[in-house]
Each structure stands twice: as C-alpha cells, then as structure tokens.
Structure 1
Amino acid sequence: MTVNPLPRRPPPVSDELLSSWIGRLARANHCSVEELCGYLGLGQGRVPEHAGDLGHVNWARLCPAVQQTRDEIAAMTLPDTTHHPAQCVSSDDFQSCANCSKQTSGLVLRHWRFAWSLTCENCGRPLVARHPADGLSNRLRVRAARGAALLKTAVAAADLRHMQRISHTLCLLQVLELVYSVPLTSRCQLERSIALAAVDVCSARPLLGVAILLRGNEQAFWDLRRAFPQRRRLIEKVRKLSMNLDMRLPRRRRQESSPVDRSARATSPKKTSAQALDAARQAISELGADADRQALLARADAIWKRQSCVSH
C-alpha cells in the first residue's frame, strides 16, 4: 500500500503534544481534524493523546503520511498515569504559555499538561492558568514551587507510597472544602497553588501539617472518619496531636485562666454534669441513636472537652 505524504507538513515543535500537531497539520492542509484522522488511519476522528491510545493506530498509513517514525510519534503522547493515586496529568489545557501560544497558533506542549509544570520549558516564562489569581502571597508561591518539585520527583521515581500520601492530603483538603476535584490540575491558580503547597507540607511533616490544618476544627475530624473508615486510628492520632498543639502553643497559654480558677470550676459537679449531658445529646444528634456505642462515647467525650476548653 502506497501512502502519499501530506502536501504540507509543518514540523512539530519540541515537546509538542500529538493532538496539537495533528490540528496544525489539518489547518495547513485545509481540511478538518476528523478528515485528516481518517486519512492518517487514526480512527474515529479522535487524535490519541496518551501512549495507551496508540493501540489502534494504522502505523503503515500514519508514518509515511506525516514522515515521522513510530518512536517519534509515540514520544509526542502523554505518559500513562492512571495507576497513580493522585491525578497529575490533565486531560485538558488547564494552563498555557502566552508567549509560545502567540508565536505558534494552536500550540500545546506536553509539559503544559503536567501538574508539576509551573514554567515553560521552551521559553522559561511562567505558565498562565485558565483562571489566574491576583495577589498570591510569596510564601504560597514558594511552597507551591517546592510541592511541584516533590511531585515531579515522586512521579519520575514511581514512588507509589509518596503518591498515596499526596492523594490522602488532597482528600483532606476536599473534606475541609479548601479545594475541589482534581486540584493539582485545576484551572484555578489559587486552588492549584494550595494543593501544591499541601504536597510540600505533607512530604516534610505530614501529621503535623494535618494537625495544624485541623486545629480547633473538631467537626472536620468526624468528617474524615466517615470519609476514611479504614484510617480511623491514624485520624485519631492526628486529632490527639492537634489537641496537644492547643495546649502547647504560647497563644493558648496566655488565654488560659489561673490554676485557682480551673480548680474552682472543676469542683462544680452540677455544671460538669450538665455539660456532659449536653455533650451526649449532641453526639446522638450528630451520629444517630443507632450509631456504635464506642463512637458515641468518643464523640460525646470530644464535645465535652471542647465545651470545657471554651468555658475555661
């Protein structure tokens, strides 16, 4: 079978995504992407973007038509990261380089789709999110950059344990409603920066980072217990660490009352009994009367301790 090369073949830009190049080929040859895909043997009018999508490509038609080898074409696709716990390769153009896009219309580079990419590897300029944020603090930017570097290293090393930790951290941020789904490749620059900064925190001191985030937010712990029932022992460990932070931080000490006042309040059985009863009622209201007895007791105890701290 003889396949004639395309009349016009603009060369691919370094690190260009295959779908981006096929689109530019279609415009150069004055046809639609669907028509070109049919001629090239790509099938169904859809350009494959991931390496795993090349199984149905007609290489005998594609390679002669575009004058590229099979390896060169495969190198223009995205890596398969479906086995990673956290999604770090985007399925859409969530960011771009304004400079390179201006120079080459319709251009999309592979690394623009990577969650850890913050600058363009072709021109060195910062990548621009679909929804940029004004006034990001320098501290958040620095933490996000460190998190991006750690994420890149974890993916390159196929460190699934580290990726699992990152995934759990992102789930925590979703429980706290700080970010939403797929935050590492979010079109919102602020949301993505928070997610990348969280990657940095969880890599250095994971338990301490979570404890600081949840300090004083008792409800969030119960949300986490419901979301991760298999991780309850770990969540309880973080909860205790968070409570210890309340007692150890200087700001808390200054606000505490004197030992005499605390001992006087502790000797008031009526007030203690009323608080315990209120805590039990609130625990039943939150978890339901048919909840596990130990869970009810633990929740009531947490509420009672929180009320005691407030009253102190």
Structure 2
Amino acid sequence: MATGLDEARVEHPSPARRCIRVTPPGPLPFRPPPARDELLSSWIGRLARANHCSAEELCGYLGLGQGRVLERINNLGQVDWARLCSAVQRTQHEIAAMTLPDTVHHAVRYLSRHDFQHCPGCAEQTPGLALRHWRFAWSLTCETCGQSLAAKYPAGAVSDRLLARAARGAQVLETAVANNDLRRLRRMDLTLHVVSMLDVCRSASVISANERERLIALTAVDVGMTRPLLGAAIILRGNERAVRGLRRAFPQHGRVFERIRALTHYLDQRLPGRWETEHPTGQKTNGTSRPSASESALQAARQAISELGSEADRQALLARADAIWKRSSGIEH
C-alpha cells in the first residue's frame, strides 16, 4: 500500500536468550482526528481513506481482524490495545468511548446495528461521517448542528402532531434507558408487540429505517406510557378479531384485556349510534358479519387527545371526542 503499512517488527536480542519481542507498529502517517461523538467504525473508515487503503486492510494492520469494524464495547475484549493505541496515537479510554453500549439485556431494541439515519449537513461537511447518537432510537435531531436527522427511507409530509407525539415517546424511551427502568422497558416492548399485531404499520420498530413506521412506533411508546388503556380501547374498539388474537398472544394479561373491553363498551355508550348509522343490522362488511373499526370515531378520539393532551381527565377526553364525532357525523346534540 502507498502508506507503507508494514508487518510488526520482530527483534531477536540474543540467540542465547531465544526470546522474541514484538514491537508495536509505528503511528499511521495520516491521522485525521475523530469528530465529537464519532462512531469507531466511522473513524476507522476515514483513517483508511486518509492512508489510501481499505478499511479491511487497516483493521488487519491495527490488530482488529478482518471484516466488519468493531463498534460495540463488548467486542473489544480481544483487542491488542498496545498495537492499536500506538498506531492511531489515542488512549484506550478515547477509543472505547467511540463504541456503542451493550444492549443485550434490554427488552426494547433502541440501538440500531446499521446507519438508519444521518445528518445531511454534517455528512456533507465530512464525507463518511457517522456519529454515535445517530444510532439511538430517541435521536431525532443532530446534537452537533441541531438539524433534523434524515431517515434512510423518508416519509415525505409528516404532520406536526405525529412529530410531537413521537418526540415525547422518544424522550420517555431515553429516560427509561438512562435510569435502567426494566419495568417500563418491558411495558414498551409489550406495547410495540400489540401495535405490530394490529397491522398499524409493517414494522413497529423504534429503529426502523422507514421514517413513518418509526414515528408511529415512538408515538405508540408515548401512548402506552401515558394513557395505555384508553389508547388500546380506541384502537381495539369494535375489533373483536384483534382482541381475540391479542388474548392468544398474551394469555397472561387476561385481566388487562377485560379492563380494555369494559372501556370499549363505555366508549360505545359515549358515542351512540355508530354501528347503526355506518353498518345497519344484518349488513355484512368485507364478506363477514364483523363490523370494522369506525374511522370517524377514531379520528375524533385522536383529535380530542391532541387538543386536551394525553394527561387530561378521561371523562373530559371522552366528552370532547363525543362532541367532535357528532359534529363530523352531522348528529345533533
């Protein structure tokens, strides 16, 4: 290679001693400093380009092995730190700080193994740059420049309401991880499983590369933490098939589903005449006798939560949703 990355020098002090001492390689000729919060794999890639070699060749020279560059702190156990630190002229602490944490013991997958989002401004200024916080589910803006992060598959036009709810969900998730709140993380995981089973989106993942799916998942986290039963009742209202599917998937939560069912009946009382006006008695929907969920009632409930806030009193939320639904349906009070 043009850099002259040579093999480690082997010295033989004396034939009588018959010992071999391996001298760490010299520093790399070109060593661009790492950016603030830069990911180790990103910096290794930039080092390789600066020294006119491939990342695989550089990893071999640094003693990191061949293939994918190490990124997680738990993958650095077998690293030859003397060789690595000598070559890049950085301390072990500085290099370890560029890796990602171990998330094996957490219920929610909040850390992506791939670059599912990036900052257009920072990436344009420094080609090949990837920062650590871009990999976290709760990161919606770049901590370096403040610009909104761009998803790998952007959604196009997104409502301000969805963005606001997703931002609250991201904050709740970050707080739970920072406090190692395993109980809340398990509850979030259950919420995302429910959303996946309801076919609200193809992937209820907070690290989805699809922007809309990720925003919906983060919003579900917010609803699941603030008004879990009311949110589930709104989604499941009139959808007995989904309720049965959830019962089979989560048999240990029977009492919770009974509470949700009771709340859905209460919603029916607060929003009277929905099924009769939209699905007359005996009329079949999509070839079956099971009515589908009312889109107008669902929109009314969502608007009520948006107007009054998720922390509002349940009676006030239901009354407001009732008024919105009647007005949109042309029903006199």
Provide the TM-score with structure 1 as the length reference.
0.79
The 5-angstrom pairing of residues 143-292 of structure 1 reads 143-181=165-203, 183-249=205-271, 252=272
2:72 to 39, 50, 53: 50
Amino acid at match of 1:90: S
Q: Tell me which residue corresponds to 2:33.
A: 11
| 1:25 aligns with one of 25, 47, 71 | 47
Partner of 2:108: 86
Task: Detail structure 1 runs of 4+ shifted over 4 Å in the superposition.
Answer: 253-257
Asked if 1 retains the 8 angstrom alpha-carbon contact of 2:107 and 2:182, the reply is yes
AA in 2 matched with 1:95: Q
Q: Is the 8 A contact 1:43 1:56 kept in 2?
A: no
1:116 corresponds to 2:138: yes
Equivalent position of 2:147 in the other structure? 125
Report the CA distance between 1:254 and its aligned residue: 7.6
Match of 1:67 in 2: 89
In terms of fraction of residues, the more helix-rich structure is 1
3-state SS in 2 of match to 1:185: coil
What is the RMSD computed on CA atoms of the aligned residues? 2.1
Q: Secondary structure of the equivalent of 2:200?
A: coil
Give the residue type in structure 1 aligned to 2:145.
C
- List gaps (5 residues or longer) in structure 1: 258-264, 266-270, 272-278, 280-312
- Report sequence identity in percent: 60
Once the two structures are superposed, residues 30-72 of structure 1 have per-residue CA deviations (whole angstroms, 9 ceiling, x without a partner) of: 1111111111111233311111111111111101100111111
Alignment match, 1:107 = 129
TM-score by length of 2: 0.74
* Aligned pairs for 1:290-301 within 5 A: none
| Correspondence for 2:161 | 139
Name the CA distance, whole Å, in 2 between partners of 1:227 and 1:115.
Answer: 26
Instruction: In structure 2, list runs of 5 or more residues that go unmatched.
Output: 1-22, 283-288, 290-333
Between the two proteins, the alignment pairs up a number of residues equal to 259
CA distance in 2, matches of 1:100, 1:32: 23
1:162 is displaced (CA, Å) by 0.8
Give 1:181 shift.
4.2
